Amino acid sequence: ETGVTQTPRHLVMGMTNKKSLKCEQHLGHNAMYWYKQSAKKPLELMFVYSLEERVENNSVPSRFSPECPNSSHLFLHLHTLQPEDSALYLCASSQDGGGTGTDTQYFGPGTRLTVL
Amino acid sequence: QKEVEQNSGPLSVPEGAIASLNCTYSDRGSQSFFWYRQYSGKSPELIMFIYSNGDKEDGRFTAQLNKASQYVSLLIRDSQPSDSATYLCAVGRAGGYNKLIFGAGTRLAVHP
């Protein structure tokens, strides 16, 4: 266990559904991240929050909406997704995210999302 | 050119041998280098990181960094079947926030 938890672990949803992914870190970190991992492709950074402020939105479609109410919790709200959005969604956290370039990210177990 | 390149493999090695995994990166401003292991269906797990040129050892793992050649490698000594996984190289740079660029990973298969 890395101290980063994600729920649900598996999610199947239709294209008209609205659902949310939850991430919680118990490490006292100040930065949290959402990544998408599709088959045979590198991890794609989606969003970064540092001290609850969004510092990166990596050209992610608006059907993905992040929320970071405090430094321990991160949500990804999903609506009107497409089948190509099916992937493993990973949450990560790091100590400061402050751009030192040496901050280590720890990953949660991921949510396997299938969009029908 | 991809920002972080890895041979996709599979790299097949016999049990007990040394597995050598390689990674090249394009951004000369990169300052931190990470190796993650990912088992099938699981999330990435940090193995080790390296910031300075040279070698860094941790148990059976050795990371090697050559910034002049923009090359980082991971050696696994006495490879075990349990080491069979995909190994992800990630590169970070200073400034703004801690953004990591990941390679697509190299699949390692250790056979008995």
Q: What is the pLDDT of residues A62-104, one digit of tens each?
A: 999 999 999 999 999 999 999 999 999 999 999 876 656 568 8
State how far the Cα of A58 lies from the Cα of A29, in Å rounded to an integer. Answer: 21
Contact with chain B for residue A99, Cβ under 8 A: yes
- pLDDT at residue B96 in the model: 60
Contact with chain A for residue B31, Cβ under 8 A: yes
State how far the Cα of A74 lies from the Cα of A35, in Å rounded to an integer. Answer: 12
- Mutation site, B97, B102, B107, interface A, largest A CB count within 10 A: B97
Q: How far is B92 from chain A (nearest CA, A)?
A: 5
- Which of A33-37, B11-15, B28-32 is the least confident region? B28-32
- pLDDT at residue A50 in the model: 85
If you average pLDDT over residues A34-43, what whole number do you get?
A: 90
Residue B36 pLDDT exceeds 90: yes
Write out chain B residues lying below 8 Å of A55, CB-based.
Answer: 96-97
Phi, psi of B34 (to 5 degrees): -130, 145
State how far the Cα of B86 lies from the Cα of B108, in Å rounded to an integer. Answer: 6
Residue A51 pLDDT exceeds 90: no
- Which of A59-63, B18-22, B53-57, B68-72 is the least confident region? A59-63
Close Cβ partners of B66 (under 8 Å, ≥ 6 residues apart): B53, B72
State how far the Cα of A32 lies from the Cα of A29, in Å rounded to an integer. Answer: 8
A58 band by pLDDT with thresholds 50, 70 and 90:
confident
B98 band by pLDDT with thresholds 50, 70 and 90:
low
Contact with chain A for residue B51, Cβ under 8 A: yes
State how far the Cα of B34 lies from the Cα of B101, in Å rounded to an integer. Answer: 10
- pLDDT at residue A104 in the model: 87
* Bigger pLDDT: B59 vs B98: B59
Give, in order, the Cα–Cα distances in Å from B56 to each of A71, B20, B61.
Answer: 32, 14, 8
- Tokens linked to B13: 């090695």
B94 band by pLDDT with thresholds 50, 70 and 90:
low
Count of other CB atoms within 10 angstroms of residue B32: 20
Write out chain B residues lying below 8 Å of A50, CB-based.
Answer: 97
If you average pLDDT over residues B63-90, what whole number do you get?
A: 97
- Tokens linked to B90: 């990630």
State how far the Cα of B13 lies from the Cα of B30, in Å rounded to an integer. Answer: 30
- Which of A13-22, A56-65, B5-14, B38-47 is the least confident region? A56-65
H helices of chain A, where? none
Beta strand B71-76 with B61-66 is: antiparallel
N- to C-terminal Cα separation, chain A:
31
- pLDDT at residue A78 in the model: 96
Residue A1 pLDDT exceeds 90: no
Contact with chain A for residue B48, Cβ under 8 A: no
Q: Pick the closest to residue B40 from A104, A112, A54 (CA basis).
A: A112
Contact with chain B for residue A75, Cβ under 8 A: no
State how far the Cα of B36 lies from the Cα of A112, in Å rounded to an integer. Answer: 19
Q: Pick the closest to residue B62 from B26, B24, B31, B35 (CA basis).
A: B35
Greatest pairwise CA separation for chain B in angstroms: 46
- pLDDT at residue B93 in the model: 74
Q: State what percent of residues in chain A have pLDDT above 90.
A: 72
Q: How far is B94 from chain A (nearest CA, A)?
A: 4
- Which of A12-16, B22-26, B80-84 is the least confident region? A12-16
Write out chain B residues lying below 8 Å of A110, CB-based.
Answer: 42-43
Buried b (16+ CB within 10 A) or exposed e, A80-95: ebeeebbbbbbbbbbb
